Structure 1
């Protein structure tokens, strides 16, 4: 391996190892929910609220009209804002029912859904016989310690498919800032 590549890898490794030590905070900035098949499901609630100073909470209530649902596909993509939103690091698709039964097979989804699980009712395996609810999800300080991300604006795009057809698209926008007093 040429020495310039070696130094590049060493620098990157040191950056990724030290970055989680820097305190950061993240806040939701916007949410967009789109039902792609309204006879199947629709969003009764898709909004951000401010439960207390310095916190922004995300709430979603997706009403399912055709239950039970036992064949779910999820696609999670992360975008970073740089002259528009550009793909950043992750684009993961999975059979959601298989994922919920064997979470360790998809490490990124495991960490992502662990953050959502306590504030939602999607923390069980298929079938889903009720509405999908995420209530007052707040991005906590240090949540991105598992994924060292630079300061900036980001978007999570979640696509949900049922029976091999896309049914819903959720875009959650958030901002990650470094707390300068710890640097």
Structure 2
């Protein structure tokens, strides 16, 4: 009799510990590649680790051919098994139309893009873009919320690949690597 109650109590305690486990996103690498240096270059592109729990990404582009009135991007999320394998569909978005439409999309990747540009970037407006583009101190805490609640992903190594096009020509790539633990 007492054994059954003790086992039940242990199961309740064990369940409580399991439901309190938190996932954590951590940046491991970032690569910013300019395919057309006469169009733009990255002034900087880095991950900064302030302490063990606070890391952020910052990047800045120097744009040489302004204004930009026709921009698009392809976005895709990969998970590493033996190599990086796509786990989401390759989403192509017309950036100018998306920004003009108040960013109403059911796609979680596009929602993440919209919220990140609103809080941590200067690209949250309609086209034309007539200035250098900046992502300033995008923290891991912001991504923790999105990749553990909005778009729940299992633990592992991940990569976010994006290609950026202006007037139909690929101009650059941004690859962000991270771990969800």
TMscore range, shorter length: 0.7 to 0.9
What is the TM-score of this pair, normalised by structure 2?
A: 0.82
Which is higher, the Rg of structure 1 or of structure 2?
Answer: 2
Kept in 2, the 8 Å contact 1:24–1:142? The answer is no
- CA distance in 2 between partners of 1:21 and 1:99 (Å): 37
- CA distance in 2 between partners of 1:61 and 1:147 (Å): 27
Kept in 2, the 8 Å contact 1:23–1:142? The answer is no
Kept in 1, the 8 Å contact 2:34–2:171? The answer is yes
Kept in 2, the 8 Å contact 1:73–1:161? The answer is yes
**Could you tell me which residue of structure 1 aligns to residue 150 of structure 2?**
146
**Could you tell me which residue of structure 2 aligns to residue 132 of structure 1?**
133
1:117–1:133 distance in 2 versus 1, CA, 3 Å: same
What is the TM-score of this pair, normalised by structure 1?
A: 0.81
Instruction: State whether structure 2 residue 88 is matched by structure 1 residue 89.
Output: yes
Kept in 1, the 8 Å contact 2:35–2:170? The answer is yes
Higher alpha-carbon deviation: 168-177 or 98-107: 98-107
Residue 84 of structure 1: how far off its partner (Å): 1.3
Structure 1, unaligned runs of 5 or more: 1-19, 178-183
1:22–1:76 distance in 2 versus 1, CA, 3 Å: farther
Kept in 2, the 8 Å contact 1:27–1:55? The answer is no
Instruction: State whether structure 2 residue 100 is matched by structure 1 residue 101.
Output: yes
**Aligned length in residues:** 158
Supply the RMSD in Å over aligned alpha carbons: 1.7
Runs of at least 4 residues off by over 3 Å: none
**Could you tell me which residue of structure 2 aligns to residue 79 of structure 1?**
78
Match of 1:159 among 163, 172, 175: 163
Structure 2, unaligned runs of 5 or more: 1-18
Q: Secondary structure at the match of 2:98?
A: helix
**Could you tell me which residue of structure 1 aligns to residue 14 of structure 2?**
none
- CA distance in 2 between partners of 1:150 and 1:159 (Å): 25
